[in-house]
Amino acid sequence: MSIKERIQGLGSALSAMVLPNVSAFVAWGLITAIFMKGGWAPNERIATLIQPMLLFMLPLLIAFTAGKNIAGHRGGVVGVVATMGVVIGSNTPMFLGAMLMGPIGGWCVKKFDELTKGKINPGLEMLVDTFSLGIIAMLLSLGGFLFIGKVVGGITHVLSLGVNWMLAHKMNPLLSLIIDPAKVLFLNNAVNHGIMTPLGIEQAAEMGHSMLFLVDPNPGPGLGMLLACWFFGKGTTRQTAPGAVLIEFVGGIHEIYFPFVLSRPILILPIIAGNVTCLTFYTLMDFGTVAPVAPGSIISLILMTPKGKTIIGLLGVLIAAGVSLLLSIPLIKKKPDFQSQPVTLDSALAAASENPAPKKKEKK
């Protein structure tokens, strides 16, 4: 398996843990944005929901989903118990811990089932399964509490120091140089959910907001490039662009513009430039959202924006779209029709689901 396939496989695994729980992140984000101190409608009593949901609910949901993906419901249960150890054993939100312990719990259940298949006497299966899984869950939980939680907490702390250093030196916009090229290769979920979201939540817990939530989901750069395709493209490129604009900007499905960039790779430059410019503006204005922007829609961004900063958030998106549009125009005029076939929502989502997890070749 190539390095690219391994990275895409990781991206598929990470997104499979997080994407089914995006609605829970949205619920937590809305409660935070509305009821926290300084929110749209501050309420001290309701705001007591924020911290427990952050520390317990969200990591445990990720852990259950990860374990279930590997070994069904039983794997999910063991994943939750295992993750509870790292959650209690650390003072920081254990999203990375959940992404580690959830799959480990599921893998242990899967291996146990393989080892005991056909070897347990009928009538004793339920008893053996119940106690064996309980023992496995207990051991993993203890390991997480005593060792793994501290290790993951240390890793998170080091990553946070690096991000804080970038914040202090106003270098956050440079993240776009890495994120955007990886994004159009359908690694956006791996980058956003595996790296940016956990670090952003850690930062938001301390500062009340984080710009890291906007590095990947910002709809502005893609909007600008698609508008250039709409206004100055020809043939299939122009016919496809209007629908893609609506799906990307309002629907938040950025995969719809990836085929445009993959068909004309030089268009990644306007995307990067738009995002760098926007992130620079956000850095100077000390702007960030209170929770992950998921999906990467202008509606989600507005809902997760702190009270009194909506205009700043919208200006950043407009700046990103403007820069991307202006830089895309000459590139598209030079080759106005570069799409061999229309890009539809179905084709974009099919590519998104196929690329992150290439199928293994069957052995002959």
Q: Give 191-224 pLDDT, tens digit per residue.
A: 676 677 777 887 787 788 888 899 888 999 999 9
Q: What is the pLDDT of residue 357?
A: 42
- pLDDT tens, 322-333? 999 999 999 999
Q: What is the pLDDT of residue 8?
A: 61
pLDDT over 70 (residue 7): no
| Mean pLDDT of the 76-96 span | 88
Instruction: Output the six-digit token pair for 125.
Output: 């299966």
- pLDDT tens, 245-292? 998 998 888 888 888 887 888 999 999 999 999 999 998 999 999 888
Q: Mean pLDDT, the chain, as a whole number?
A: 83
If one compares 121 and 331, the residue with the highest pLDDT of the two is 331
State in Å, rounded, how far the first CA of the chain is from the last one.
Answer: 16
Domain boundaries, given as residue ranges, for the chain: 178-187+196-356
Q: What is the pLDDT of residue 350?
A: 58
Cα(261)–Cα(267) distance, rounded to whole angstroms?
5
Residue 148: name the closest of 204, 197, 103 by CA.
103
Q: What is the pLDDT of residue 117?
A: 82
Instruction: Give me the sign of the Cα torsion angle 341, 250, 196, 86.
Output: negative
β-bridge mates for residue 289, sequence order: 210
With both helix axes pointing from N to C terminus, report the angle between 220-232 and 235-249 in degrees, rounded to the nearest 10.
150
pLDDT over 60 (residue 359): no
| Mean pLDDT of the 169-181 span | 80
Instruction: Output the six-digit token pair for 351.
Output: 């590519």
- pLDDT tens, 141-166? 999 999 888 887 777 677 667 766 77
3-state class of 120 per DSSP?
coil
